[in-house]
Structure 1
Amino acid sequence: DYRGEIVVILAGYKKEMADFIKSNSGLESRFPLVIDFPDYKPDDLYAIALNMVSAKGFTITEEAKDVLRDQIVLAHKTSTAHSGNGRMVRNMIEKIMRNQSARIASVEDISKEGLNEIIPEDIEVSHASAHTFDLDLEKALSSVVGLTDVKNYVRSLYARLRMQSKRKKMGLPVDNAQTLHMIFKGNPGTGKTMIARTVADVLYNIGVIKTNKLVETDRAGLVAGYVGQTALKTTEKVSEAMNGVLFIDEAYSLAQGGTNDFGREAIDTLVKLMDDNRERLVVILAGYSKNMDDFLQTNPGLKSRFPNIIEFPDYSADELMIIADNLYSSKGYVLSDGAKAKLLALFGEVFHEEAFGNGRYVRNVLERSVNKQALRLSSDTDLTRDELSTIEADDIEEV
């Protein structure tokens, strides 16, 4: 009704505004101009802080500037979507000024310059590191059976990132162009998800990403059934993983639906979002080795964006036995000698099969053996603790 008399500007958080626009079919056509305001970088926030200090008639010593910059970098690393950017800096500066006022109030003889001077003492130093825990990498890796080469890759990644952090602190050049996106190739049950969680902890601990969250998804979480919906669905999932790690299982399935399949739209959307959010997102694609090799050929830009390709080999029969022992023990069961011998023989027969389930197969065997044990003991009315805890050879069978 007032088309030529009023201009309306809607503002808000990116995801919430996107949901709002989708809530009414008429909104998108009436608000065609969408302007995205990115978060400030630490250098931007530092410049804003210095401008605020100057605008309020204060000066700041060089030593205090160094402390202020460090605190802004730390605040930025631990910030969330609701931290406020410039608002966060304004709150920080106002607190510094209150501290400065309290300090000079107790000084009897102070110069005119000192009345408006900010020194390091006025800046409340947070001793929190850029992460909330110290990663014990060897302890994390010790819980993973086998996978020697995979573990060595994670160790080398951790060492490289630590060295880059130290170089940066000493003013040495650092290669910021490197990409950390990865491909995990191998059969199911070989520890890909477990290692992905460890990688997320490593990247967070070093300060590469702001959180150690790992968002797991697959084709169903990225691809929609209607034209135009896949890009939105993929974007939402990537937004959920922002500042963390996105783990896409069976990623090859995105390219297996034919020329008119929406999976290719998901790939194109993912690639663009990875490029646009290079410093805020690490993507790990996972799947069968051959399928993943074929998948890399579907998009010419994929191979260069995923230079870190890690092969997860199948477990040996002995490694499967260790996994089984650990799994049964964690559930409160003990394998008899006969059950152990039967399990080892079973693993020796099946571990070389194509698309073998590895750790997943061990879990399936456990579930069946527990069911068989329960059935075997169901007619016994006077059960002992040992009987309830022991898995016998008769309880073990192939699945």
Structure 2
Amino acid sequence: MESYQDKRPTFDKPKNIHECAQSGDVLGLQKLLQDNPSLLNQRNAVMSETPLHISASYDKAEIVKFLLEWEGNDKVELEAKNMYGETPLHVAAKNGCNEAIRLLLSHGALVEAKANNGMTPLHLSLCHSIRSEDGSIIKTLLENNADCSATDNEGMTPVDHLSKWPESGECLRELLTSHIEEQRKRKALECCGEVKAKIDALEKELSKIVGLHELKAQLRKWAKGMILDERRRALGLKVGNRKHLHMAFLGNPGTGKTMVARILGKLLHDVKILPTDKVKEVQRTDLVSQYVGETGLKTREQIEEAEGGILFVDEAYRLIPMNKKIEGSWDFGLEALEEIMSTMDTGKILVIFAGYNEPMKRVISSNEGFCRRVTNIFYFNDLSCEEIANIVHIKMNNNQEDQDSLLYGFKLHSSCSIEAIAALIERETTKKQRMKMNGGLVGPMLDNAKGNLDLRLSDDCVDGDELRTIRLEDLEAGLRVSFRSMDVWDR
């Protein structure tokens, strides 16, 4: 960090571009560049420095400005490094050249650039500031967001380096310490804006889920805690690492288990709990082989694909047979489950087991480590007729943004209120039928409703609004066709 400005040779008659840069000979430098523009970033033989290095280290502001604003085809290398890995900003800071520093920073010089020894311009500015008893260079760098917490290759911050001057460095230590606290507060405020954006994004995703109020409350609670941890870290507070919250989702088909898993993957990735937002959805057939010795390998392959995200094991109860032995042979599903359980403590994946309420009890009781690892069990209740009707409206609104959807560009007639659709569903379906499908009713019903609309309209219809409007009678026909095609119509 010792200044080398005094050790450089001087020249009475500038002869080359580096000599012009050192002496401040703008006209001489300009003529050299006009004759040979390739000299703009030419390195000298001693320090491998460019003209910008030289002019910055001698605070020749006029030369620095000329080089930075050179309009030729070649552009000045703002981050060029000398033999010590120092940029022009480094050497300007090391030699107390405040005007050059301001010019370099105003043109985008990296205030956090690191030399070969890991030091930033702020590190290198300390020696000159101590010797000159002038903290203006440090203030200029701090005004441009120099990081007081940056460490060099020895792990030392600028404040740490001030210990070399215990008496004369006290004022600078107070300046840097005060700025560190201001930086922390600023980061915390910036974090607040990011927090609000993440919470708003979460609420948007949760609005797509109908019902499940208890689960939504828990997701909001987790999100708030995780996001506040980010703010705590921004303030320099110590925060422990959160463990993966392995879960079980219990409920009938169509209650939103898979959708919630996907939302959860995005949420945990956004708050940096998971490296990725991928959700790997698997069932027994993806994990279990019919041959001895292959199930473990097959399961590990699925786990590796899910690494960094969520492994969503749907119909997890199928891994556990009604009787633990089948025709005298141990069921391979247990082997797959044990392989998954052995991975859950590594932190590489988050596992969600999903399935019907009663059959899932077999999974929970099948492995003594299950309850210890799966600490969050959520019940997905069957949807009411009104909630299913609400999904119809949500899906139709989402289809307006999905050009690949069959219903892209279509809309519901004003008569298709949530109340009217709920009454239709209650009238045309049984509780048992709804329990088997829940939200799964909606997709087939809407697709078949569109088919009924096409059948109902005359071949010569040219009314654009009528051509894209689904009426209540279409939904009714679509509901009936859906049940017939799925062979569950039992009325």
Q: Please give the TM-score of this superposition, normalised by the length of structure 1.
A: 0.64
Cα offset, 1:339, TM superposition: 8.8
Question: Partner residue of 1:386?
Answer: 465
Report the Cα distance in structure 1 between the residues aligned to 2:82 and 2:266, rounded to whole angstroms.
Answer: 33
How many residue pairs match? The answer is 295
Instruction: State the SS of the aligned residue for 1:180.
Output: coil
Preserved contact between residue 188 and residue 358 of structure 1 (Cα < 8 Å): yes
Correspondent of 1:374 among 443, 454, 478 = 454
Correspondent of 1:337 among 395, 415, 435 = 415
Residue 298 (1) aligns with residue 366 (2): yes
Instruction: State the SS of the aligned residue for 1:100.
Output: coil
Matches within 5 A, 1:173-192: 174=240, 176=242, 178-192=243-257
1:116–1:183 Cα change, 3 Å: closer
Cα offset, 1:247, TM superposition: 1.2
Question: Partner residue of 1:157?
Answer: 222
Question: Partner residue of 1:100?
Answer: 86
Cα offset, 1:246, TM superposition: 1.3
Cα offset, 1:181, TM superposition: 0.6
Report the Cα distance in structure 2 between the residues aligned to 1:122 and 1:223, rounded to whole angstroms.
Answer: 59
Correspondent of 1:143 among 208, 218, 227 = 208
Question: Partner residue of 1:317?
Answer: 385
Q: Which amino acid aligns with 1:372?
A: N
Preserved contact between residue 312 and residue 353 of structure 2 (Cα < 8 Å): yes
Question: Partner residue of 2:316?
Answer: 251
Matches within 5 A, 1:222-261: 222-256=287-321, 258-259=324-325, 260-261=330-331
Higher relative contact order (CA 8 A, sep 6+): 1
Preserved contact between residue 373 and residue 391 of structure 1 (Cα < 8 Å): yes
Q: Which has the larger radius of gyration?
A: 2
Instruction: State the SS of the aligned residue for 1:353.
Output: helix
Q: Which amino acid aligns with 1:366?
A: L
Unaligned runs of 5+ in 1: 1-94
Matches within 5 A, 1:65-84: none
Question: Partner residue of 2:272?
Answer: 207
155-164 or 224-233, which moves further after superposition?
A: 155-164
Report the Cα distance in structure 1 between the residues aligned to 2:95 and 2:218, rounded to whole angstroms.
Answer: 61
Report the Cα distance in structure 1 between the residues aligned to 2:314 and 2:84, rounded to whole angstroms.
Answer: 52
- Any idea what the Cα deviations from partners look like across 1:215-248, whole Å, max 9, x if unmatched? 2221121112211111111111111111111111
Correspondent of 2:262 among 197, 200, 204 = 197
1:340–1:214 Cα change, 3 Å: closer
- Any idea what the Cα deviations from partners look like across 1:246-299, whole Å, max 9, x if unmatched? 111111111137522211111011111222x22x21111111122222221111
Give the CA RMSD over aligned residues: 3.5
1:108–1:120 Cα change, 3 Å: closer
1:376–1:292 Cα change, 3 Å: same
1:391–1:120 Cα change, 3 Å: same
Cα offset, 1:175, TM superposition: 6.8
Question: Partner residue of 1:45?
Answer: none
Q: Which amino acid aligns with 2:219?
A: V
Question: Partner residue of 2:336?
Answer: 266
Report the Cα distance in structure 2 between the residues aligned to 1:308 and 1:293, rounded to whole angstroms.
Answer: 14
Instruction: State the SS of the aligned residue for 1:152.
Output: helix
Preserved contact between residue 339 and residue 392 of structure 1 (Cα < 8 Å): no
Percentage identity across paired residues of the two chains? 32
Instruction: State the SS of the aligned residue for 1:356.
Output: helix
- Any idea what the Cα deviations from partners look like across 1:108-166, whole Å, max 9, x if unmatched? 869xxxx985434489989999xx99522222212322221111010011122234445
- Any idea what the Cα deviations from partners look like across 1:151-199, whole Å, max 9, x if unmatched? 10100111222344455664446375x4411111111122222221221
Preserved contact between residue 340 and residue 393 of structure 1 (Cα < 8 Å): no
Correspondent of 2:426 among 335, 348, 366 = 348
1:327–1:209 Cα change, 3 Å: closer
Report the Cα distance in structure 2 between the residues aligned to 1:325 and 1:289, rounded to whole angstroms.
Answer: 28
Cα offset, 1:367, TM superposition: 2.0
Report the Cα distance in structure 2 between the residues aligned to 1:97 and 1:268, rounded to whole angstroms.
Answer: 57
1:362–1:96 Cα change, 3 Å: farther
